[in-house]
Structure 1
Amino acid sequence: MTRSTAGAGGGLRTADVVRETGYSAQQVRDLERLGVVPPAVREPNGYRVYTAVHVRALRAYRGVAAAAGPVEARRLLTDLFAAPDPTAAVAAVNAVHARLAHERDEVLRALAALDAVRDEPPGVDAPVPDVLTITELAGALGVRTSTLRFWEQEGLVHPDRVTSLRARQYGAAAIREARVVGALRTGGYGIPAVREVIRSLDTRAGVAASREILGRRLDQIAARTLALLRAGADLAAVLDPL
C-alpha cells in the first residue's frame, strides 16, 4: 500500500516515485531490493520514504539499460551504491559511450563497403585493398578470430586460402562481408537473417535492402546514445553528494 503525499520531512512515498519515474510500485521495490537504488528509510508504520536521489538513480538506470542493457545497468548502479566510487562509475559510463561509438563506426564502414559495391560499373571488379589475415581482420572488427571462423562455418564470410597451410586471407569481398556481418550481428540479427543479407549482396536490390537495414541500425545506436546522455545527467546528480 502506498500514499501519494510526501512525508513530513520532505521525503517521497512510493507513489511519488512511481509518478516521477514511470515505474510501477512493484518495479520500484524490486529495483531497491536488487540494490539499483539505496535502501529507503522505513517509518515506524513500515512505509518507505524515498528521496530525490532515488528518483535520479532510477532514471539513470533506465537510460543505461536502454543504452547497454539491464544487466550492465544493474551492475553499474549496484556497484555504485555498494561501494561508492564516482571515478569507477564515470569510467563505466565512458566505456558504454566508447562501445556505442565503435558500433557506429562499424556500421559506417559496412555502409561504405556497400557503397563501393553499388558504385561498381556492371562487369567491373572492385579494386582489391590490402589482403588481411584473420588476426588483422579480427582486430579491425573488434571480434575474436573464433568469431570469424564461426561466420565462415555458417556461410556468412568467404575467405581465400592461398598457402600450403590453408591459412585464411581476406580480400575485398570477404572484408566487405565481414563488416556487414559484424554490424548486423551486433544489432541483434540472427544467423539466418544475416545469411540472407549476405546472399543478396551480389544484386543491386540486395545492396539497397542491406543499406536500409544498416540505416535502421544507425538510428538505433543514435537512440541508445541519446538515452545514455540523458542518463548521464541523472547519474551526475547521484554522484555529486558522493
Structure 2
Amino acid sequence: MRPVDLAREHGLSTQAVRNYEDAGVLPAAARTAAGYRCYTPLHARALRAFVALVRGHGHATATSVMRAVNRDAVDDALRIIDDSHCQLREDRRTVRAVEAVLGELAPVAAVSGEMFIGPLAARLGLRPATLRKWEAAGLVRPRRDRRTGYRVYDAHDVRDVMLIHQLRRGGHLLAQIAPLIVQVRSAGGVAPLESTLRGWHDRLSVRGRAMLAGAAELDAYLRERATTTPVSR
C-alpha cells in the first residue's frame, strides 16, 4: 500500500501519514529498493485506531498510546487510557456538582463599578482576611491598583465573591467551590451556565462513546499486531 492509500480513507494528506510514521504513531514501514514506503493492512489498522482514539482522547493522548503500543509497551498504553477515563469521570463529577449547587444559589445582585477589599468585606459581613484566603486559593482574582497597590474587585470579581460566600454558608468546601467558579467564569455568569449544562452533558456523552469506539479499534490493532511482525526501526 502507498501513503495515499492510507490517507484517502481518512481524508488525510500523504505527508500526514508519513509524519505519523515518523512520530511513532504507525509502525515502521518497509522500503523498496528506491526508498519508497510500503504500507500493509497492519498500518491501515494502526491508522484507524489512532484516528478513533483522537476522537475520544485527543491528539496528544492518542499519540502517546500508539507510541507505547508500537514500542511493545502495551501496559503503558493502557495506563494512559486509564488516566484519560479518570479525567472523563472527574469532568462528569464537576458537571454533577455544578447542577447540585446551582439550585442553592440565590440571585446575585448586579454590581456596577469597582470595590476595594474593605468595603466589599463589610458589605458581606466578612473579614478582609477571608477574601485574601479565597484569593490565595485561586477562587477570586482581583487586580491591584497601580498607585496604591490595593486590591480592586470589578463586577465579575464581586459576583464570584458573592457566589463563594453563598456556597460557604451552605457548607461547601473551597475545593468543591473551585470547579463551579471556573465554570461560572467560562459561561459568563450563573444564568448562562444553567442553559449550557445540557450541552456539557451531551459533549461528555459523545466523548464517552468515542472512547468506546477508540477502544474497539485499538483492540483490533493489538490483535492484528500480535499475528504480524512489524518492521524493526
TM range (shorter): 0.5 to 0.7
Q: Deviations over 1:167-225 (max 9, x none)?
A: xx93438667534234x38xxxxx5x45x31xxx3xxxx2xx31222221222222222
SS at match of 1:28: helix
Is residue 100–residue 221 contact of structure 1 (8 Å, CA) maintained in 2? yes
* Corresponding residue number in structure 2 for 1:217: 200
* Corresponding residue number in structure 1 for 2:18: 29
Cα distance in 2 for partners of 1:15, 1:212 equals 45
Is residue 135–residue 141 contact of structure 2 (8 Å, CA) maintained in 1? no
* Corresponding residue number in structure 1 for 2:217: 234
Cα distance in 2 for partners of 1:236, 1:148 equals 46
Q: How many positions carry a matched residue from both structures? A: 180
SS at match of 1:153: coil
* 5+ long unaligned stretches in structure 1: 1-11, 121-144, 161-168, 186-190
Map 1:30-109 → 2, pairs under 5 A = 30-82=19-71, 84-109=72-97
Query: CA RMSD, aligned part only?
Result: 3.1
Distance 1:157 1:93, change over 3 A: farther
- Shift >6 Å, 4+ stretches: 145-148
Is residue 15–residue 25 contact of structure 1 (8 Å, CA) maintained in 2? yes
* Corresponding residue number in structure 2 for 1:127: none
Cα distance in 2 for partners of 1:60, 1:30 equals 16
* 5+ long unaligned stretches in structure 2: 108-132, 143-156, 227-233
Cα distance in 1 for partners of 2:80, 2:177 equals 32
Cα distance in 2 for partners of 1:113, 1:40 equals 54
Cα distance in 1 for partners of 2:22, 2:134 equals 39
Identity of aligned residues (%): 26
Q: Structure 2 length as normaliser, TM-score?
A: 0.65
Q: In structure 2, what residue type is equivalent to 1:70?
A: H
Cα distance in 1 for partners of 2:180, 2:208 equals 21
* Corresponding residue number in structure 1 for 2:122: none
Map 1:161-240 → 2, pairs under 5 A = 170-172=168-170, 178-182=178-182, 184=183, 193-194=186-187, 196-197=188-189, 201=190, 206=191, 209-240=192-223
Cα distance in 2 for partners of 1:238, 1:147 equals 49
* Corresponding residue number in structure 1 for 2:140: 152
* Corresponding residue number in structure 1 for 2:102: 114
Cα distance in 2 for partners of 1:230, 1:147 equals 42
